[in-house]
Amino acid sequence: MSEDISQYFAQFLPIEREKLDIFLSKFKAKSLKKGDYFIQEGQVSREVGFITKGAMLCAYNKNGEVIIDEFSLDKEFITDYNSFLTNTPADKDVTCLEDTELMVISYNDLQELYTLDAAFEKVGRLMAEALFMGWQQKAKSLMLDDAETRYLKLISRRPDLPQRVPQYLIASYLGVKPETLSRIRKKLVKN
Amino acid sequence: MSEDISQYFAQFLPIEREKLDIFLSKFKAKSLKKGDYFIQEGQVSREVGFITKGAMLCAYNKNGEVIIDEFSLDKEFITDYNSFLTNTPADKDVTCLEDTELMVISYNDLQELYTLDAAFEKVGRLMAEALFMGWQQKAKSLMLDDAETRYLKLISRRPDLPQRVPQYLIASYLGVKPETLSRIRKKLVKN
DNA sequence: CGTTCAGTTGACTAAGGTCAATTCCCGTGG
DNA sequence: CCACGGGAATTGACCTTAGTCAACTGAACG
């Protein structure tokens, strides 16, 4: 629903209803089934998606091995921004862990909005800044935290994750093997 | 010199000379000595710096241990963007590895520019997008690459770095101990 | 009921960390 | 000009920790 996107923006950005409606009018609904690709490595990502319902997975492929970059659940934006912004092939896969409903906006529509009104340019800037700070936090955690700490942070940030995704994918996200995550969890319940 | 900033923007952003001059007029020169702080953990960063000459170091403090986040050399922007953008205390130190000359712009001046003209808003968006993609690349490398690969990437990206900074700081950047970097280097020359 | 696959557990291995000793480099002062 | 001192870098011996491999358990599904 468009209302979900409205609420998402309202939480961090004051924008007039009228302009918000123009913005929302550019989004189109998209339905994907569990296992479907939203973005495939090597192809250019030409749209940004907003997940209204469902769960998706960003993953790198390291010579055969799947490395989870991020889980994206309801009420989040998703794309390969690098591919989207620079019109170059994506370096990751984005797939659906569950049947997923999206609202998508195309690159061209977004650029058109930017030229239309400085308010949209500002939305773009604030979103880029927010994304940027999120990635910075992620890099910081990768530099400073061990797997156990990152596990605890992940489940506190996304408490429903263990119910929705298999544990071996969480292990991949943490950068450890499933056996190691199993041992981390065992140690945690003992304490 | 202002000209360095002009060139920096020219390389990735078309902006009219007139507007660029307004932008540049907001920058002030700042000189720091080797060892000086540009940003101190716990204090709010209220300005963005552009290094015209010198070398700086972003570092986290992990209970006493220094963890290098990034080296910043000539012709680069620098601040704790998270602190700068959200007006919250910085979570890292930024110090000078060498005597350093900067051009700095304040948060208020930057926000004023944003309201002045959509062109500035656009500059802000493009810079945020560029920063964002840089951090994404960094996180990707932290997830996928081992210390040896990250070392090779670092010295190919910044060939002069080994001459300018001690090796134990590079080890810290790579997330390994000085002994380990020494062994990595030994192995590399043998091959 | 049996197959399948995720998750757990144990034994072993390998890679990086730790600690200590030694060498190298460079600036300072005799 | 050379000797010395101190921090950086290297090297070796040992230890800790996560990875590997294999066996086993358990829940889900036909």
Residue B81 touches chain A, beta carbons under 8 Å: yes
B36 and B108 co-located in one domain: yes
Please give the Cα distance from B168 to B177 (Å, whole number): 8
B43 and B103 co-located in one domain: yes
* AA identity, residue A12: F
* B82 CB-near residues (< 8 Å, 6+ apart): A133, A136, A137, B88, B90, B91
- What is the pTM for the complete model shown? 0.93
B123 and B36 co-located in one domain: yes
Domains of chain A: total: 2
Residue B46, domain extent: 3-140
A136 and A153 co-located in one domain: no
Is the CB of residue A104 less than 8 Å from the CB of residue A68? no
A20 and A89 co-located in one domain: yes
B136 and B149 co-located in one domain: no
Residue that is last in its domain, among B114, B140, B166? B140
Residue that is last in its domain, among B140, B159, B174? B140
A48 and A14 co-located in one domain: yes
Chain B CB contacts of A118 below 8 Å:
118, 121
Residue that is last in its domain, among B118, B140, B162? B140
| CATH number of the domain enclosing A70 | 2.60.120.10
Residues B10-32: pLDDT tens digits? 776 678 888 888 999 999 999 99
A62 and A45 co-located in one domain: yes
B149 and B134 co-located in one domain: no
Residues A57-103: pLDDT tens digits? 999 999 889 999 999 998 899 999 999 999 999 999 999 999 999 99
A170 and A103 co-located in one domain: no
A34 and A107 co-located in one domain: yes
Residue A116 touches chain B, beta carbons under 8 Å: no
B66 and B154 co-located in one domain: no
- Nearest neighbour of B144 by CB, restricted to A67, A125, A133: A67
Please give the Cα distance from A95 to A68 (Å, whole number): 11
Evaluate if residue A16 carries a pLDDT over 90: no
Is the CB of residue B141 less than 8 Å from the CB of residue B66? no
Residues B75-116: pLDDT tens digits? 899 999 999 999 999 999 999 999 999 999 999 999 999 999
> How distant is the Cα of B131 from the closest Cα of chain A, in angstroms?
7
Q: What residue of A is the nearest CA neighbor of B140?
A: A69
Asked if A81 and B136 come within 8 Å (Cβ–Cβ), the reply is yes
* B32 CB-near residues (< 8 Å, 6+ apart): B38, B54, B96, B99, B100, B102
